[in-house]
Homo-oligomer: A and B are copies of this chain.
Amino acid sequence: MENENIKDIIEELLQERKFPKLRETLLEMMPIDIASVFDELSEDDLSKVFRLLPKELAAEVFACMDPDGQEHLISVFSSRELRAILDEMYVDDTVDLIEEMPANVVKRILAHTPQETRHQINEILKYPDDSAGSMMTIEYVDLRKDMTVSEAFEKIRKTGLDKETIYTCYVKDQRRQLLGVITVKKLLLSPSDAIIEDLMETNIICVDTYEDKEVVAKMFDKYDFLALPVVDKENRLVGIITVDDALDVIQEEATEDFERMAAILPSEGEYLKTSAFKHAKSRIVWLLLLMLTATFTGMIINRYESAFKSLPILVAFIPMIMGTGGNSGSQSATMVIRGLSLDEIRLGDFFKVLFKEAAVAILCGLILALVNGIRVYFTYDGDMYLATVLGVALITTVLIAKVLGCLLPMGAKLLHLDPALMAGPLVTTITDTCSVLLYFIIASSIAPLFGVIL
């Protein structure tokens, strides 16, 4: 069923005060779907309908909602209601909530959080936004190495309800150092009197609290983990990251790359929920910069005024040369940027990539020059001069564009900048200048060979 229909049904049931039926409808839905319908309701309806949910589901739905709805609900919650919701929420979701709320709301949230949790929240908030620490949860199952399998199950049964995942358990020593990990699958397939120490995996892949989010997400992609332990500088286990959060990061990072590659400053928030003013703000910076740099291309054209005054047809081909250069450049930049971001290309592969791009450029350039030559030959009464100028210009333009398209992103990577910054628009603008300059140089220098006077 579409959200729109569900929203209508819920509003109707609410108006007719058919609360049991309404509750039943909600219980059949997934938390995220309930949240997205709730985000569309009026504030009055929201407060009424939210209270129909059982406690555990209420907390799940609340965690999935938009900040506006969350803020409204907190403002109408009694102290008891707020405490109940916060009790049910995972600490990492509470941290996300706190990051979105205004100061007075945060104060109220913290006042209703037990002291120990408050301490944990503050610890997580300390980590930078793009670090592993900021995406971890502290709710994991920990075991001791001298436990038997049945003791381990005992512990999981006792503490598992509030853990974000129970399927990977962590074995720590007294100094909280991570000794090993063991999965519930392994536990289930082992005899009940076996000792954890003999079963646990001790080749552990873990990340530092300050590791970049993107690196963490890539590790999930590579190793197919369900969860990954996070340790501090002293190798003490401080939390875990689960695969669902890694998936979110992968999507965010891809969106950021898409934006950077289209010369947009990365923004948070969904498209429709962002104001036109904010959209304009994240786009105008590059537009201004690229508009001003396009002046160089203009200056070059100016210098060749006499050339195109005596042969105006030269002007008509400027868009074709510029367009082909721009498109070739974005193609290479995109391939190289995506390759770098998927670790398919490393900095050490620089020359391999450069030669490959050069080879691709020559192949593409030759075909373009040939097709264009044939067309010009037939359209302009066999004008060999024009066909030659355009052919040579096309080949050199594609070559420059493709070489720049691989040089710029790899250079950015070398300087620890995001390669996506160097994509399409920037490559295009630089290529424009070079290609127009070359075009006129080629046109003037081979003119005498064909007896053309510019």
Q: Which residues of A contact B (CB under 8 A)?
A: 4, 28-30, 32, 153, 156-157, 160-161, 166-167, 184-185, 188-189, 203, 205, 220-224, 226, 243-244, 246-248, 250-251, 254-255, 257-259, 261-264, 270-272, 276-277, 279-280, 283-284, 286-288, 290-292, 294-295, 297-299, 301-302, 305, 308-309, 312-313, 315-320, 322-324, 326-328, 330-331, 333-339, 342, 344-345, 348-349, 352-353, 356, 359-360, 363-364, 367-368, 371-372, 375, 394, 398, 424-425, 428-429, 432, 436
Contacts and interface: CB of A to CB of B under 8 A. Distances in A.
A29 to B, nearest CB: 8
Given A288-B371, A334-B264, A428-B326, A166 B185 contact: yes
B223 A334 contact: no
Contacts of A247: 220-221, 224, 243, 246-247, 250
Contact of A424 (B32, B283, B330): B330
Task: Count identical subunits in the complex.
Answer: 2
Contacts of A189: 157, 160-161
A328 B287 CA distance: 7
Consensus secondary structure, chain A interface:
helix
B255 A338 contact: yes
A290 B188 contact: no
B188 A156 contact: yes
Question: What are the 10 tightest A-B residue pairs by CB atom distance, in nearest-first order?
Answer: A262-B334, A276-B359, A224-B244, A297-B319, A298-B316, A280-B363, A294-B320, A271-B339, A294-B323, A270-B344
Contacts of A28: 203
A327 B32 contact: no
